[in-house]
Amino acid sequence: MKIRILGFTLSFLIFTMAVSAAPPLNLDSIPPSLEPWKAWVLHGQEDQFCPVAYNNGQGYRCIWPSRLNLDLDTNGGQFTQHWLVFAKDWVPLPGSRKIWPQDISIDGKAAAVVEKEGVPSVYMAPGRHQLKGLFTWKEMPEMIRIPEASGLVSLSINRKAVSSPVLDARGRLWLQKRKGIQSKPQQTEVRIYRLINDTIPMSVTTHLKMNVSGQARKVKLEKVLLKHFIPLRINSPLPARIGIKGELMIQARPGRWEIKIFSRSENPVNKIAPEKMAYGQEIWAFKSQNHLRMVKTEGVQSVDPSQTDLPAKWKKFPAFIVKPGNVMAFKEIRRGDPDPAPDQIHLKRNWWLDFDGNGFTIQDRIHGTMSQQWNLAMNPPGILGRVSVDGKDQLITSQGKDQKPGVELRRGKLDLVAESRYEASTGRIPAVGWDHDFQSVSGSLNLPPGWRLLTAGGVDVMPGTWFQRWTLLDLFLALIISLTILKLWNWRWGLLALVTLAITYHEPGSPRIVWLNLLAASALLKFLPDGWIKRMAGVWRVASIVTLLVIAIPFMVQQVRWGVYPQLETHGTGRWFSSGRSLDATLEAEKVMAPRPAPKKRKASKVKVPLESSGVMQQKLDYRKEQAVFVQDPNALIQTGPGLPNWKWRSFAMKWNGPVIKDQQVRLWLLSPIANLILGIVRVLFLAILIFGLIDLKRWKINAGSFSSSAVLLCILLFPGLSAGETKMDGYPSNELLQQLKQRLLEKPDCLPECASSPKIEIAAKGNRLRILFSVHAAEKVAVPLPGLSVVSWQPKQVLLDSVPAHGLARDKEGLLWILVPKGIHAITITGSVPPDNSFQMLLPLKPHRGTIKTKDWNVQGVD
């Protein structure tokens, strides 16, 4: 009767709670229990907490200053500045080694000041802080350095406000009138460096280093390009374009600037020379391409690259000094490569098993170099569905004598993405699937809910499978427990214990170590004589039984629930399925499964590329028309493939050590959802039988009343915990869960690289006053560049964000002022004085879609 009551109670609890509805899961938010671990998992990567630029996911800025207020006189002065800090960092202070700030306080508390790279600095924790300090001097200096990132500056000298503080590009605030500034001539120093790349066609990268002094102005550089070379693109921090005659026109402002021009030759090149050397001798670097041709350079003097100021990446190539009248000639020694090296290609393959288990969808990423074989075909039973090379979809055709589906390859450097299908999930499947050997192969296997992987054959490294989880310690413990039960009871119970441990040991939440306590207490009770030690062993045994029930009952509920509803399983956090998965594999799988974005027209980035002249554009169009002969027929129907799954559940990393031949096979041993349901029920039955057998209720001398009370009390204690879900007994999340948390925290906003836009701008200039109304729509909390001019020419007096003074303002190295805007729609108001010059230029890094200009005293040019 007692056994029936307890059995009925346990059965009611297990099966009632197993089929109960699971609590709703919010997969988009971080669980509260993991919030304290955010700083831990991102140790050394604290900048991930910082806002990014609206168009660049790597452009983090962690410290944001507000207005710097300086109140100075002949004896010294004081300064105040607010800082918005997102990650602990060193914050620079106004001053220098000679003008060292004194009595620094952060939020009213004294702060230690140390020197960092010659700048006085303080260490700040994340948050918003007020910084105060003093200066003392016998005589007011001519200038004082301030943090270059300071967005706005207010200066008072002898209690008189300075309407337009003079701040140069080097972060120096001038307190006294600079001597001879009006008589300083406007100068432009130019040094030219070139990288000659002996490709087909030959390409030349022209690197200009400019030192501009004086006022902002237009600079025209003639004959910068080599003769018979066509410009392709320009990388310039300044507005620049190339004219019809090849001249480079720049809207320059004071400072040091570097500009790159990329060009290619019109015809095969045997010699080249600068057309005009108006800027002195040049230094050229030569990058040979021996697989195309082997040449010897003549006519120019060689020089040690390390002794020059070539760009650092060019110093690994031979360098030459080119003087007026020199001609660099190329003496051809050999053309082509009669004995090309073997193909060096690498494969990253990702499998997705169908929900019904009848096939696989596969995505392959192949990269490397092809030097012998100029096509790539897929072996049966693979069904090739879609192929793209260098981001362009290709027509799949029949290749070779066997008419295998594949694509032709035109370039030696290969970057290919393919999607295919395998219609059989049982038996052996190809490891690579292609009619080609690979230098390295890696990837991942993605299983849908309800499917589990026992083991895999033909794979060198595949952690996380059921067989891989068994260590020597696990085997030792399982055997010790089984043999102990065999000795204390009989061989039948020992065999049952061995089978039960084999199928439950690596399940999340299963009882393991508690078995040792129960068996140790049972052994003492069996062999110890009567006495207090035996009574203590009895208490130990009862405590072990209670602990075993507390662990086993939720585990059995969980097994039945996961068997009936496999989608409720907390994938990615259990010991079974993700212990071997590395963060790199996770990130790679995320990148592979990301859908291809639709082509979009990108907004202007921080580095602006000017429009090219009509002549240059026509030359590029002619070249593209010539190359179009080698492109596939535009009317051909390109295969779209089977469609790539975007779900993610249980994933296993796969890797092969060394090269993999095309005939390599993989064998997977999988358990289906039906098999998992049956196995879950078997686990529950075997575990329940084993527990009842080891407890041995017949030996318990408990009356019915106390037994019923104990059973009811046990139900009351255990019932609330059955629906609480899986908990971790030690209170610490698993390493795999922390890795997934890190992955979530490292995810970039989906809106990048277009997280902000400007629908309109209104500019009003009246007299010497300038007012800009700038509307910004932000999809996330990002940094946005503001309209304006260089620091030398113009500095706003006030910046309002939604009618409130902006707290997050910072200048970059190019002098552009950035503002931190939250997610949503915002109105930014910028006010200031018009520069004293007769003309000024306004930069619009974030181009608005519509603009309105209101002015009576100024003429406006350059607006459509």
Coil, helix or strand for 427?
A: coil
* Residue 505: inside a domain: no
Q: Are 207 and 327 contained in the same domain? A: yes
Q: Are 325 and 199 contained in the same domain? A: yes
pLDDT band at 633 (very low <50, low <70, confident <90, very high): low
Least confidently predicted of 246-255, 300-309, 476-485, 583-592 = 583-592
Q: Are 138 and 212 contained in the same domain? A: no
- pLDDT one-digit tens code per residue, 20-44: 434 444 445 667 777 777 777 777 6
Task: List the one residue out of 421, 469, 410, 426 whose CA is nearest residue 669.
Answer: 426
* Residue 91: inside a domain: yes
* Domains in the chain, number: 4
Question: Is 252 in contact with 220 (CB distance < 8 Å)?
Answer: no
* Residue 831: inside a domain: yes
Q: Are 160 and 197 contained in the same domain? A: no
Q: Are 84 and 121 contained in the same domain? A: yes
Neighbours of 535 (CB within 10 A): 12
**What whole-number percentage of the chain has pLDDT above 70?**
80
Which of 272, 305, 335 is the last residue before a domain boundary?
335
- pLDDT one-digit tens code per residue, 341-367: 777 888 888 888 888 888 888 888 888
**What average pLDDT is seen over the chain?**
77
pLDDT band at 398 (very low <50, low <70, confident <90, very high): confident
- pLDDT one-digit tens code per residue, 292-301: 888 888 888 8
Q: Are 263 and 314 contained in the same domain? A: yes
Query: pLDDT at residue 740 above 50?
Result: yes
Query: pLDDT at residue 204 above 50?
Result: yes
Q: Are 260 and 391 contained in the same domain? A: no
Query: pLDDT at residue 591 above 50?
Result: no
* Residue 27: inside a domain: no
CA distance 259 to 608: 11
Q: SS3 string of 524-571?
A: HHHHCCCCHHHHHHHHHHHHHHHHHHHHHHHHHHHHHHHHHCHHHCCC
Question: In which domain, by residue range, is 82 found?
Answer: 61-174
- pLDDT one-digit tens code per residue, 159-196: 888 877 877 766 788 887 654 444 446 788 889 999 99
Q: Are 325 and 201 contained in the same domain? A: yes
- pLDDT one-digit tens code per residue, 707-726: 444 444 444 444 444 333 33
Opening angle at CA 306, ends 300 and 309, nearest 5? 80
Which of 121, 148, 174 is the last residue before a domain boundary?
174
Query: pLDDT at residue 485 above 70?
Result: yes
* The pair of three-digit structure tokens given for residue 219, joined into one six-digit string: 């600079």
* Residue 299: inside a domain: yes
Neighbours of 191 (CB within 10 A): 16
Q: Are 162 and 193 contained in the same domain? A: no
Query: pLDDT at residue 589 above 50?
Result: no
**What whole-number percentage of the chain has pLDDT above 90?**
6
What sign does the dihedral 652-656-662-665 (CA atoms) show?
Answer: negative
* The pair of three-digit structure tokens given for residue 61, joined into one six-digit string: 């800025």
Q: CB within 8 A of 101, min separation 6: which ones?
A: 79, 93, 94, 95, 113, 120, 133, 134, 135
Which CATH number characterizes residue 152's domain? Answer: 2.60.40
Q: Are 204 and 328 contained in the same domain? A: yes
Which of 274, 307, 335 is the last residue before a domain boundary?
335
Q: Are 142 and 252 contained in the same domain? A: no
pLDDT band at 574 (very low <50, low <70, confident <90, very high): very low
* Residue 235: inside a domain: yes
What element of type H or E holds 492?
A: helix 491-504
Strand partners, 452: 671
Q: Are 193 and 288 contained in the same domain? A: yes
Mean pLDDT for 56-76 is 84
* Residue 763: inside a domain: yes
* Residue 38: inside a domain: no
